[in-house]
Structure 1
């Protein structure tokens, strides 16, 4: 019995030994609770976070005395001494003296203050998410300096920095918990359509400019990092509800709703899980421009009318009425005629939807910093995507599955990203093939000519009209005759044919595109500083990626099965401080190899120097080289986009794109052939430049196969805290070589380009096909610009202003065929004004943006974007008893509709009311 009592007392003592508990509350200087503050045991990876009311409970096996460190974004850290068990603490965190004290990881793959970062970096954290005026945290990023957002649709916004972007922005990388969020087949990020729920976002960091030295080929023009909340640190159930309406002249007022929920729980100090679900639904921005691309200012009376958001009218031909009727040349004449098209609203469902879900299991086998993470994400979206054409993306799905092992010094991460295009289809080909299913092009143009000729002659001979009057009347009659019995949107006949077309993946008769492309990626990083007594911060790492293209021949030339290829890379970075830690050197280099190209070395060197007695001024300079591999589409696309056939330039792709074309009657008389077979290789080796055709002087061209694009980037910057003012300015100069570019060429159906005979007759007879090729420009292309931002406090009010300048430098006269797609305004001004605690539990924020006019250049259409001004605002009220925040806000409150790209819908206003529980 005595032994049993002794053992019991021993066990009780051990149990008591392991139960040190500390409770308390974390507040700000106004005694307002700080939710989500980190509470960490100094020297160990143990901790917790405060709840909505700022309260915390911390349990540990550690015996007092020990120290707890308290931290939260926007506040200075505080360390408290714990001297006994069951101690209760009240911690007041002081607001950080400067935004430059915030910690970022992306710039060097290691935690450091923004103040000391070797390159430009922008951060958007929990406080900014709470105060954003936009309807979503992702939309709020457009208020950061140097950041552009091009709005494709309500649920698809494309982020970019430093120019050179279309909606297919393959120059800008987006990482979600280290996973590349690029859609594998599309080669670009679909905004936050299938990204992260704002309830789970801990921070967003943006690196403008090239970062290939650490992040490889995709990090060419900038990177966006989204980091989620760890379930060990952020526990509990939280949710948000948003409701409101969108307002647009073309679409009217429509209901808008957004809902999200997050649940996280740590079952012990070893195991934690979390899950997220968010659902957004609304009416997309309608695109209804009927501007005639061939004759701006004209209306549909133009016989060759080609409307911007009207599709099917791209099908056109030149009708020689005299030849058709057997009249002498000049009797009736000829004219270019286009088929009657359909408005986009007749072809696309403007319901915008985004559904995102994810689950993560976090396991710490030794209850320390070693952590194993198993994470799965899936997103499903419906939107409008604008590329070469406008695509109705219905039920698009993307999945990401990740296994990661990490601690404070290393990580190894493997993941797979796959996409499924769902019921997506091309609206232009939907219109073209609905027309053709009803009546062939040949029959339609024959009917047109058959009605035009007698009407014209009757007008001249019987009514005494002038040739112009007779022609105008005859065109009306001709189109009416050709369109007799045309399928009308909304009728059963139209709907039956339309549904058949959009479910057909053959673009000669259908419009559906199929894409189940994926890539597999493994990368790792190890910081060996702890092995060398922190003499320097030295990191090594590498990555491997395998692509698997699978479009069943609808996008890529993979009709015979999936196409696979791979790339890999490795890097080294050394970072060390000198001169009393005032001078910080960062040097890194990376080697990357794609199986189609030679390996590439990407070095980066930067110096940052801190000045002043209070160390409140910092100067930095950096130079780096970067590169961008051609995308999957640059290499293997084989797509008829209507105005041109797109053919990628991978060596084994050139002979895989084989198409058959009809030869004109004149051509048949010359060659004796009614059809001809053209191989994609001809677009590069047997073609004329289309610009020379338009100039009336055909010039044969031989287009080189595409190679990786290279950049040399120079940057200098200055950061300072001067009194109550925070100053951050930077300037850059980028020099590009082997600039990735598209050219259009015309392949003759017979003869050899440059032969001076038969091929010229082919051009004259219209017997040629336009191709878009993927190559590199010989032009010297440079860009330069800069940003300056000033933030201050006026009492308790926050005020910030920033300015961005961007300029392109290219000799357009010497290289008229080069399309850079720079697509960014020269001048941008942004300002913010707010107070998170105007009075108890109440705050507000206002954002202002002005953008200069600029020229938009993309495969869908080119044109000028007028300057625009946008004003967003929100007010918020916290109810601690309900653990809730209510927000009333609106974007584009001035109601002046604008657009950021040619061909998209005008961006109207969004008004919303949100309720967030336990944020």
Structure 2
């Protein structure tokens, strides 16, 4: 079994010394001497800990010699470090003081060592027990959307993509998610599936988030940020915890909603003896997805005359000129956003020749009838998600702990890439072995994935063409429209005779044949149609370690160093990635080394702590590179000013390296020569869609030129960014965090839509008919310079008596200097150079997609009190607003100004200390105002829930 090799980490000498145990006991109360239940106590510098019982009492054993420090924390109260001495260790009396603002927390993500969040060298956010308990979000992952500058793009009920600082993506491969140190991304697809295969909600201790470049310590791909989720250690958090949650969503959907939602989670952890502890977790979520049911006519630059232009300035775009018509009975070109098979950009449309005998159809583009997402899925939007975890922990010494863990997740979901894709049964195993001490860790883990899915858009196209080819359908449409002199709707109905009807046995049989046949194989009984199923059963093996030399140096210098080795084994059977010439699958090896040095200097009331880090990483297919970071923090009392400069680069995902669509079909093409040439682009180059649509609108204009690049120059994507920030916590009552950043991207990888003729050697005139070409999304390094600027502000103020008022605001803007393949600055159509202009500017968007996809402005405002009047009732009300944004997305999504949206989230909670139970009634988007976070994604409405959490029983 391949996992067994991980156990080699534990083949070390087992210590034979017996460590002396000290039993510490005591009681925790509030200022009124009332006992506090559920208070967390941890021996400072270790994982040894416990929580208080309903009478406020606690006891724990430790090998740490007296005197020692106990770190004591509880929601709504100030954290304390309590000295335990030989005179009081049998009856430690602790009194906690109620505090509403608790921002002086410890983080590890910023520098890989523990430090105060207020003194971190880079911007860092932290969500812990206080934030989770008080958040109206249905789960800890969703609580991220209340952090400044965070955009969550909802792909599915359980799959939400985290985006920061521009270039929002449904599948963000510029953002790294780590779970207990393990990369949460798909080894092959190259992005994180949100929390589909994450850890159980009950087991999350904290989530730390670093916006911006983080490659200096965490390796390539962390261009836009890093998220570190840490689970609860079984030595600290023991007992049985159970959470049940019921709710409903999809209210207001005629003939569809509302639909139920259920979530149950169980966690059990127990220490056995002085050295061994075990932890078991399970969570199951079931419900109905928010449905992608936007049937309005689609905005896409694939349409002729998409941009409104002005002749006085050479045809330059002034905005969107396309005027949608949402009625397929009166619109020749009707293309529903969440209807597939009718796509103008995926061979779902026919253009009658300009010489057509009837003038009413001459040159007309006509789309055929498509199928809705619900038609194609046939599952009424049902969603399930299961997560499980078992881990064993063993203390090798007072401060050294070994652990072996298994993490599992499975479920069904939809993701959006160039097309919408459905994964009916995603499964992932991760197995990790680790040894960790105060000043080092050694870790090895593997990710084993089974991800089989099918392309919804391509399935619809194949369904249509399998019963009636597009040419025949268009002929019948034309005959009915011209000879029978009927309207567009009647002509469609005539051409649709024999159409497969959703829900019928024949429709289901044909759909299943397409969806369950690999895209490398012909559908059974067909001589021309391939299936649409693909798989990514790829694996990752990762070995890494770090050592902190600070104690050895004993001169005030903080020095850490680490190394990493990653091996990816792609396994798609040729359905997602091409194979080598001998039929074997590709592998990818990556290595990395890093070092960081810091030192604190004190000058009177001021302290200065400069930090320098540098890392080297190498992907076997690309040139290696260094990612340095320099930062400094100046502190004066509670005031902390930070300044940093850092760089990062991103290795292209396996898809961006190797992707190759089946012959004749649309899809993504990787940037390496083997993919580029595999798509025959070397000898049959395509044409940029933006140039083709201009030609289709006016054939008298210049014909488009072939789009030719050199795939041998494909390289890593790079960013340089600097940031200045200020953070303060005054009297545990007022907390402020603000920053300004400026970033510059080079060698940016942004796939462009390229139209490739299906018959090599054809003339550009063939581009006038969509049946003659396919749409490819070609990955390459453009020569553009991209500049992103932004600010963020977070404030929290204690109003007294436990009430807090908080809010945050973030602004970011993306500018671009466009260059051609030779590095020359490009002009817009009025002849003006495109230098540092907004990517959402129609004059720039007219020249090609840049994919910034980010709102300029967004803010949150919250009023909360976790314990009203010091009692057991709490509440939180949060208002969120997000600006409109320019979206450029996919083959079957489009290009549009997505409207601004706002929501109100709220929760009320009641704590029952004697039963160690919390009851919470909450909802997100409680006014049920449906909005979309991305074009073509499901529109999000209200989700309402009631939860009961029984915490750490049977300790």
- C-alpha change, 1:32 and 1:829, in structure 2 (3 Å) is farther
How far did 1:62 drift?
Answer: 7.1
Match of 2:219 among 210, 216, 220: 216
Q: Does 1:776 align with 2:781?
A: yes
Match of 1:633 among 655, 672, 677: 655
How far did 1:67 drift?
Answer: 3.6
Partner of 2:394: 363
CA distance in structure 2 between the partners assigned to 1:45 and 1:335 by the alignment: 71
1:647-686 residue pairs with structure 2 within 5 A?
A: 647-657=669-679, 679-682=680-683, 686=685
1:537-556 residue pairs with structure 2 within 5 A?
A: 537-556=558-577
How far did 1:690 drift?
Answer: 2.6
Q: Does 1:645 align with 2:667?
A: yes
Match of 2:867 among 833, 837, 855: 837
Aligned to 2:812, what secondary structure does the other structure show? strand
Match of 1:716 among 717, 724, 735: 724
- C-alpha change, 1:319 and 1:872, in structure 2 (3 Å) is closer
Partner of 1:448: 477
| Conserved? CA contact 2:241–2:950, under 8 Å | yes
Q: Does 1:915 align with 2:948?
A: yes
Over the aligned positions, Cα root-mean-square deviation in angstroms equals 2.6
Q: Does 1:113 align with 2:143?
A: no
| Conserved? CA contact 1:36–1:234, under 8 Å | no
Aligned to 1:582, what secondary structure does the other structure show? strand
| Conserved? CA contact 2:40–2:49, under 8 Å | no
Partner of 2:27: 25
Partner of 1:737: 746
How far did 1:379 drift?
Answer: 0.4
- C-alpha change, 1:750 and 1:289, in structure 2 (3 Å) is closer
Partner of 1:420: 450
| Conserved? CA contact 1:105–1:111, under 8 Å | yes
Partner of 2:59: 57
Aligned positions, number: 851
| Conserved? CA contact 1:157–1:192, under 8 Å | yes
Partner of 2:699: none
Match of 1:582 among 592, 607, 621: 607
- Alpha-carbon displacement from aligned partner over 1:799-853 (angstroms, at most 9, x marks no partner): 1121111111124743654433222211111111111110421111111111111
- C-alpha change, 1:91 and 1:319, in structure 2 (3 Å) is closer
Match of 1:288 among 285, 293, 300: 293
TM-score (ref. length: structure 1): 0.88
Q: Does 1:268 align with 2:277?
A: no
1:500-899 residue pairs with structure 2 within 5 A?
A: 500-506=513-519, 508-533=529-554, 535-558=556-579, 560-580=583-603, 582-611=607-636, 615-639=637-661, 644-657=666-679, 679-682=680-683, 686-696=685-695, 697=702, 698-705=704-711, 706-722=714-730, 724-748=733-757, 759-760=763-764, 762-763=766-767, 767-796=772-801, 797-811=803-817, 813=828, 814=834, 816-839=846-869, 840-859=871-890, 860-899=893-932
CA distance in structure 1 between the partners assigned to 2:177 and 2:270 by the alignment: 28
How far did 1:128 drift?
Answer: 1.0
Match of 2:230 among 227, 232, 238: 227
| Conserved? CA contact 1:70–1:77, under 8 Å | yes
How far did 1:268 drift?
Answer: 1.9
| Conserved? CA contact 2:136–2:924, under 8 Å | yes
- C-alpha change, 1:136 and 1:97, in structure 2 (3 Å) is closer
| Conserved? CA contact 1:316–1:336, under 8 Å | no
Match of 1:127 among 121, 126, 130: 130
| Conserved? CA contact 2:325–2:334, under 8 Å | no
- C-alpha change, 1:319 and 1:691, in structure 2 (3 Å) is closer
CA distance in structure 2 between the partners assigned to 1:196 and 1:53 by the alignment: 31
| Conserved? CA contact 1:239–1:916, under 8 Å | yes
CA distance in structure 2 between the partners assigned to 1:387 and 1:528 by the alignment: 44
CA distance in structure 1 between the partners assigned to 2:894 and 2:157 by the alignment: 20
| Conserved? CA contact 1:53–1:883, under 8 Å | no
- C-alpha change, 1:438 and 1:38, in structure 2 (3 Å) is same
How far did 1:761 drift?
Answer: 5.3
How far did 1:762 drift?
Answer: 4.8
CA distance in structure 1 between the partners assigned to 2:339 and 2:200 by the alignment: 35
Aligned to 1:400, what secondary structure does the other structure show? strand
Aligned to 2:171, what secondary structure does the other structure show? coil
CA distance in structure 1 between the partners assigned to 2:853 and 2:720 by the alignment: 20
- C-alpha change, 1:100 and 1:247, in structure 2 (3 Å) is same
CA distance in structure 1 between the partners assigned to 2:19 and 2:173 by the alignment: 56
CA distance in structure 1 between the partners assigned to 2:487 and 2:194 by the alignment: 49
- Alpha-carbon displacement from aligned partner over 1:395-443 (angstroms, at most 9, x marks no partner): 1112211111111111111111122124x22211222222233333344
How far did 1:19 drift?
Answer: 6.3
CA distance in structure 1 between the partners assigned to 2:459 and 2:276 by the alignment: 51
Q: Does 1:380 align with 2:410?
A: yes
How far did 1:374 drift?
Answer: 0.8
Q: Does 1:490 align with 2:528?
A: no
Aligned to 2:855, what secondary structure does the other structure show? coil
Aligned to 2:137, what secondary structure does the other structure show? coil
Partner of 2:938: 905
Partner of 1:664: none
Aligned to 1:455, what secondary structure does the other structure show? coil
Aligned to 1:493, what secondary structure does the other structure show? helix
Match of 1:197 among 194, 197, 200: 200
Q: Which has the higher contact order (CA 8 A, sep 6+)?
A: 2
CA distance in structure 2 between the partners assigned to 1:344 and 1:46 by the alignment: 51
Structure 2 residue ranges without an equivalent (≥5): 1-17, 304-322, 521-528, 696-701, 819-827, 829-833, 835-843
How far did 1:916 drift?
Answer: 0.2
CA distance in structure 2 between the partners assigned to 1:544 and 1:237 by the alignment: 37
| Conserved? CA contact 2:37–2:916, under 8 Å | no
Match of 2:283 among 278, 284, 287: 278
| Conserved? CA contact 1:248–1:907, under 8 Å | no
- C-alpha change, 1:99 and 1:513, in structure 2 (3 Å) is same
CA distance in structure 1 between the partners assigned to 2:214 and 2:790 by the alignment: 17
